[in-house]
Amino acid sequence: MSEKRILVVEDETNVRELEAEILRGEWDHVDTAVDGTDALRLLAEHVYAAIVSDLAMPKLDGRGLYEEVERRWPAVQHRLVFVTGYAEAEEYDEFLRHSGVPVLAKPFRMADLLGAVKRAFSPA
Amino acid sequence: MPRVVDPSESRYRDLVESGRGLICTHDLAGTLLSVNRAAADRLGYAPEEMVGKSLAEFLAPSVRPMFGQYLDRIAHQPADEGLMLVVTRGGEERIWTYSNVRAQDPTGEPYVLGHAQDVTDLKRSDARAMEAEALRSVAQLALATAHEINNPLTIIIGSLQLLIVRGQISEEAAGPIDRVIRAAEQIRDTVRNMSRITRLELSRQSPSLPDVLDLRKSSDPRA
B208 in any annotated domain: yes
Q: Which one of B150, B161, B196 has the shortest CB-CB distance to A106?
A: B150
Query: Amino acid identity of B204?
Result: R
Q: Which residues of A touch B (CB under 8 A)?
A: 12, 14-15, 18-19, 21-22, 25, 56, 85-86, 88-90, 105-110, 113
Determine the residue among B140, B147, B195, B197 to mutate to test chain A binding: the one whose Cβ has the most chain A Cβ atoms within 10 Å.
B147
Determine the average pLDDT of the residues in B22-26.
94
pLDDT (average), residues B92-117:
93
pLDDT of residue B221: 42
Under DSSP, is residue A80 helix (H, G, I), strand (E, B) or coil?
strand
Residue B223 lies in a domain: no
Tell me, yes or no, if B165 comes closer than 8 A to chain A by beta carbon.
yes
**Domain layout of chain A by residue ranges:** 2-120
Residue B70 phi, psi (nearest 5)? -65, -45
Residue numbers in B near A15 (CB within 8 A): 151, 154-155
With an 8 Å Cβ cutoff, is B51 touching chain A? no
- pLDDT for B210 equals 39
Reduced to 3 states, what is the DSSP secondary structure of residue B31? strand
pLDDT at B133 over 80: yes
Give chain B's domain count. 2
| Minimum-distance CB partner of A18 among B155, B195, B196 | B155
Q: How far apart are the first and last CA of chain B?
A: 82
The answer on pLDDT for B73 being more than 70 is yes
Specify the amino acid at residue A53: S
Q: Are residues B74 and B143 in the same domain?
A: no
Model confidence at B192, pLDDT cuts 50, 70, 90, reads confident
- Alpha-carbon distance of A67 to A24, in angstroms, equals 27
Determine whether the interchain pair A105/B161 forms a contact, defined as Cβ–Cβ distance below 8 Å. no
The pair phi, psi for residue B178, each rounded to 5°, is -65, -40
Do B145 and B99 fall into the same domain?
no
Nearest CB to A85; choose among B151, B196, B199: B151
Q: Does B145 touch chain A (CB under 8 A)?
A: no
At residue B104, the 3 state secondary structure works out as: strand
Question: Cβ contacts (< 8 Å) between A14 and chain B: which residues?
Answer: 151-152, 155
Task: List, for residues A26-51, the tens digit of each pLDDT value.
Answer: 998 999 999 999 999 999 999 999 99
Which of B151, B157, B162 is the closest to A12 by Cβ? B151
pLDDT tier at B202 (50, 70, 90 boundaries)?
low
Q: Which residues pair with A80 in a beta bridge?
A: A51
Residue B165 is assigned to a structural domain of this protein: yes
Walking along chain A (124 residues) 10 residues at a time, the average pLDDT comes out as: 82 94 92 96 94 92 94 91 74 84 89 91 63
Q: Choose one of B87, B118, B149: the last residue of a domain.
A: B118
Q: Is B199 within 8 Å of A19 when comparing Cβ atoms?
A: no
Same domain for B26 and B110? yes
Q: Give the model's pLDDT for residue A3.
A: 64
Question: What is the H or E stretch that residue B116 is in?
Answer: strand B110-118
Asked whether residue B144 falls in the same domain as residue B80, the answer is: no
Identify whether residues B56 and B78 lie together within a single domain. yes
Kindly determine whether residue A85 and residue B157, on different chains, have CB atoms separated by under 8 Å: no
Q: How far apart are CA A116 and CA B65, in angstroms?
A: 69
Rg (CA), chain B: 32
Whether residue B133 is found in the same domain as residue B93: no
The minimal CB distance from B159 to the residues A18, A88, A90 is found for A18
* B109: CATH: 3.30.450.20
Domain end marker among B63, B89, B118: B118
Residue A1 one-letter amino acid? M
**How crowded is residue A11: how many other Cβ atoms within 10 Å of its Cβ?**
18
How confident is the model over B101-130, as a mean pLDDT?
91
Question: What was the ipTM of the complex prediction?
Answer: 0.83
Query: CB of A105 within 8 A of CB of A81?
Result: no
Q: Is residue B98 part of a domain?
A: yes
- pLDDT for A28: 87
B17: closest CA among B40, B43, B50, B44? B40
CA distance B178 to B172: 11
B139 assigned to some structural domain: yes
Same structural domain, B23 and B76: yes
Chain A hits for B196, CB-CB cut-off 8 Å, are 88
Residue after which a domain boundary falls, among B118, B137, B171: B118
B149 in the same domain as B108: no
Instruction: Give the integer Cα–Cα distance in Å for A93 and A83.
Output: 14
Kindly state whether residue B62 falls inside one of the protein's structural domains. yes
Residue B1 lies in a domain: no
Q: Is the dihedral of CA B150, B156, B160, B162 positive or negative?
A: positive
> What mean pLDDT is reported for chain B?
84
Q: What is the pLDDT of residue A49?
A: 92
Question: Which residues on chain B are in Cβ contact (under 8 Å) with A21?
Answer: 162
Let me know: does A58 contact A11? Beta carbons within 8 Å. yes
Q: Give the alpha-carbon dihedral of B8, B14, B20, B26, to 10 degrees.
A: 80
Parent domain of B208: 124-218
For residue A47, the model assigns a pLDDT of 92
Q: Is the pLDDT of residue B9 over 90?
A: no
What is the pLDDT confidence band of residue B200, given thresholds at 50, 70 and 90? low
Q: How far is CA B207 from CA B125, B127, B132, B202, in A?
A: 9, 8, 6, 10
Taking alpha carbons only, the member of A77, A74, A82 closest to residue A116 is: A82
Asked if residue B2 belongs to a domain, the reply is no
Peptide bond into A123 cis (omega under 30): no
Q: Which residue has the higher pLDDT, B84 or B222?
A: B84
- pLDDT bin (cut points 50, 70, 90) of residue B136 is confident
**Beta-sheet strands, E only, within chain A:** 2-9, 27-33, 50-53, 80-84, 103-105
C-alpha A57/C-alpha A109 separation (Å) is 22
Residues B197 and B167 in one domain: yes
Please report which confidence band the pLDDT of residue B128 belongs to, taking 50, 70 and 90 as the band edges.
confident
Beta strand extents in A10-102 (DSSP E only): 27-33, 50-53, 80-84
Residues of chain B contacting A107 with CB distance shorter than 8 Å: 150, 153-154, 156-158, 184-185, 188
Q: Which fold has domain A2-120?
A: Rossmann fold (3.40.50)
pLDDT over threshold 80, residue B176: yes
Confidence of residue B211 (pLDDT cuts 50, 70, 90): very low
